[in-house]
Amino acid sequence: MGGGREGGPPEQLALIRESVRKASVPRAKPRTWRGAALAGELPVARVLVDKGVLHLDRYFDYAVPAELDADAQPGVRVRVRFGAGRHRVRQGRREGGGLVDGFLVERLAESDYSGPLAALAQVVSPEPVLDAELLGLARAVADRYAGSLADVLQLAVPPRNARAERRPSPAPLPPPPAPGPGSWERYERGAGFLAALASGGSPRAVWNALPGPEWSEELARAVAATLASGRGALVVLPDGRTVARVDAALTALLGEGRHAVLTADAGPEKRYAQWLAVRRGAVRAVIGTRAAMFAPVRDLGLVALWDDGDDSHSEQHAPQPHAREVLLLRAAQDGCGFLLGGVACTVEAAQLVETGWARPLVASRERVRAAAPLMRTVGDGDLARDEAARAARLPTLAWTTVREGLRHGPVLVQVPRRGYVPRLACAACRAPARCRHCSGPLEGQESGAALRCGWCGREEGGWHCPECGGFRLRAQVVGARRTAEELGRAFPAVPVRTSGREHVLDTVPGAPALVVSTPGAEPVAEGGYAAALLLDGWAMLGRPDLRAGEDALRRWLAASALVRPQSAGGTVVIVAEPTLRPVQALVRWDPVGHAVRELAERAELGFPPVSRMAAVSGPGEAVAEFLGAVDLPGEAEVLGPVPMPVTAPGGARRPGAPPPGEHWERALVRVPPGRGAALAAALKSAQAARMARGGAEGAVRVRVRIDPPDIG
């Protein structure tokens, strides 16, 4: 395994060192405007005020009254009087301003501000909730995503609950014995990875899990091995259902009281009580959704992330960090072990292996074939020749597979959601149509006008396919067919269960049934599904997203992993063109190979994650002015701006769409490897200057997002 405290993923270690730099040397003694009695020692409190605006993203000095001396310790929540107005604020001011919340960062003997200091108004609670380690991580995340420290701490520290705070945390339990390797022996380096964790090592691995339900028990064993070394562990999972599975596996392996569960769905009192137990060192292991990625685990020995391609790992609140990047920062900052696992493999995961920062944890091809179901495909040619497919919108092979599968157990039918945006592809080989200048996606325009790039806005009048030389284009399939009704009518004696946005099932019995599910909502069947149908493959492959193929493969693999192995009769039928790369990777069950090839192509075209990108969006004039003012790195390339769509084809509002009635534009800024930190710093500085100016100019919002997930 990769290990050691010196190594770090690209740009992370330099970012952390910069983020934890020391404050300026203080030079002035504090004095309050009322001459109130001050604390005898260290009478200056350096405070981070809870103002999530970039031009106030720094510390402010306050005087510590004598009556607050005992409670005003570093890390506690405080309230201070803060008056910003339109002018630049140097320190806490004596006149005007209201009370705002904040965190006391450190106590000093002197201040570097020569004027009078306002006094701390209140210590909200003597409970220290922010230590130097969490502060350093939050600062690194803020710098990585061009955001404010206060915004990151809102994500990292849950709201206070007085009743939970008064409740004592349980006494910490002694480390458990090291677990056996269990099913980790199925992987070529699995037992060694577990042994390294148990002995106090810090291995780093990208884990391609075998199909089947054993992954949750394998994660639990990795946590148990870390606890056996006397260190803590943190596991971040995409949703409550996966959290429940790992929770059950950990409880079965270690018993009650060894781990805390942190999810956003938990009530405020329960969540804060669990978080405090971790902060106080009573619990050394944490599992949870992205709300847990900042959990203050003591002596962190392992951070793990399951299914990093799931979009639920991307935080929607400013500055919108991704759980994978936060855990990479933590692994670099703490020198702990790192485990990135999933049935699929993202391009970012492949890059970690390619750079040597992490080692692969994979099974042999023989074990993969033994664990995977039989994969079969139905392409366009098969559908055109199939009378049943034309009449009932379901090919004969699918009917046969369902009928046979229902004799032995439940059958899963995955139906994509409606409303994906159509893009253009070569009519002959289906390669996406891309701009010759920036490799962005080409889009059709009204009235037969020339094609236009969705990134840089250039028109393309003479497109031809670089793969096969073809000149004809076709629109990629939009939406999903309603096949659940046909299946219900065709098999009237069989119960039909649905799982989707309105109602997500966790498990279903092992009896024969049709289970129709949207991607990501597939329930686990007792004993595994006898068969699965993956319908309308083009609906997912046609998404306007750089990672459409990767994401489609990830969703297909997740559904197929719930099916029994081929030796037990498990069969999967996918309705998609078999010559397409993601379909071929599914048939071979080769997500790693697909990710490696995608990474090589993105490196050639300058796409993320090899490059770094930022999106700047807002009204056209504001975006143009912002880009003219920002001091971008010399290597930066600006693509666009182009109009920003408000709604998806189904009429639903797009995430991050402009306010109703406004027409916005978006520009993409791309920099080569190693320049991501410089890009984020430049954008953050320009945005802070814009906000500081205030007035009508500052009222026009310009949104900046690092690593936007929806580049086409």
Find all residues with CB under 8 Å of 434, minimum gap 6, and list them.
440, 441, 442
pLDDT at 183 over 50: yes
The residue-averaged pLDDT of 224-253 equals: 97
- pLDDT the model gives residue 656: 66
Closest by alpha carbon to 610, among 558, 653, 670?
A: 670
pLDDT at 308 over 90: yes
336 annotated to a ligand binding site: no
Q: Angle at CA 554, nearest 5°, toward 259 and 561?
A: 70
Bridge partners (DSSP) listed for residue 704: 616
Contact 446, 547 (CB under 8 A): no
Element (H, E) at 491: none
State the pTM of this model.
Answer: 0.85
Instruction: For residues 197 and 203, give the distance between their C-alpha atoms in angstroms, rounded to a whole number.
Output: 7
The CATH architecture one would assign to domain 182-366 is: 3-Layer(aba) Sandwich (3.40)
- What is the per-residue DSSP string for 66-97? GGGTTT--TT-EEEEEE--TTSPP-S--SSS-
Share of the chain above pLDDT 70, in %: 83
| Overall size of the chain counted in residues | 712
> What single letter denotes the amino acid at residue 356?
G
pLDDT at 446 over 70: no
- pLDDT the model gives residue 438: 77
438 annotated to a ligand binding site: yes
* Domain ranges across the chain: 31-126, 182-366, 373-420+478-588, 612-706
The residue-averaged pLDDT of 169-195 equals: 94
- What is the per-residue DSSP string for 593-656? HHHHHHHHHHHHHT-TTTSEEEEEEEEHHHHHHHHHHS---TT-EEEEEEEPP-B-TTSPBPTT
Share of the chain above pLDDT 90, in %: 61
- pLDDT the model gives residue 654: 62
Contact 45, 64 (CB under 8 A): yes
DSSP helix, strand, coil percent of the chain (3-state; round to 5): 35, 20, 45
Phi-psi group of 96: left, alpha or beta (phi > 0 → left; psi -120 to 50 → alpha; rest → beta) = left
Three-class SS state of 180: coil
> What single letter denotes the amino acid at residue 2?
G
345 annotated to a ligand binding site: no
pLDDT at 509 over 80: yes
pLDDT bracket for residue 539 (50, 70, 90): confident
pLDDT bracket for residue 7 (50, 70, 90): very low
Question: What's the pLDDT tens digit per position in 54-78?
Answer: 888 899 999 999 999 999 999 999 9
pLDDT at 298 over 70: yes
429 annotated to a ligand binding site: yes
Least confident of 338-352, 398-412, 494-508: 494-508
pLDDT at 480 over 50: no
Distances (CA, A) of 109 to 30, 114, 639: 8, 13, 50
- pLDDT the model gives residue 166: 92
Least confident of 129-138, 534-543, 642-651: 642-651
Three-class SS state of 548: helix
Question: What's the pLDDT tens digit per position in 256-296?
Answer: 999 999 998 888 899 999 999 999 999 999 999 998 999 99
Instruction: For residues 585 and 608, give the distance between their C-alpha atoms in angstroms, rounded to a whole number.
Output: 21
Contact 506, 381 (CB under 8 A): no
Q: What is the DSSP letter of 418?
A: S
pLDDT bracket for residue 15 (50, 70, 90): very low
pLDDT bracket for residue 484 (50, 70, 90): low
- pLDDT the model gives residue 423: 58
pLDDT at 366 over 90: yes
Least confident of 304-308, 463-467, 692-696: 692-696
Which residue has better confidence, 245 or 170? 245
Fold match between 182-366 and 373-420+478-588?
Answer: yes
CATH class of 612-706: alpha beta
pLDDT at 87 over 70: no
The residue-averaged pLDDT of 521-534 equals: 95
- pLDDT the model gives residue 646: 61
Q: What is the DSSP letter of 500?
A: S
**Domain 373-420+478-588 superfamily per CATH:** P-loop containing nucleotide triphosphate hydrolases (3.40.50.300)
- pLDDT the model gives residue 126: 96
Contact 410, 508 (CB under 8 A): yes
- pLDDT the model gives residue 653: 54
Mean pLDDT estimate for the chain: 85
Least confident of 92-101, 145-154, 332-341, 566-575: 92-101
pLDDT bracket for residue 405 (50, 70, 90): very high
Structure tokens at 144: 């990585």
435 annotated to a ligand binding site: yes
641 cis-preceded (ω within 30 degrees of 0): yes
Instruction: For residues 407 and 409, give the distance between their C-alpha atoms in angstroms, rounded to a whole number.
Output: 6
The values of phi and psi at residue 197, to 5°, are -65, -45
> What single letter denotes the amino acid at residue 688?
A
pLDDT bracket for residue 47 (50, 70, 90): very high
Find all residues with CB under 8 Å of 56, minimum gap 6, and list them.
49, 84, 89, 148
Distances (CA, A) of 154 to 150, 291, 294: 6, 11, 11
The residue-averaged pLDDT of 446-456 equals: 69
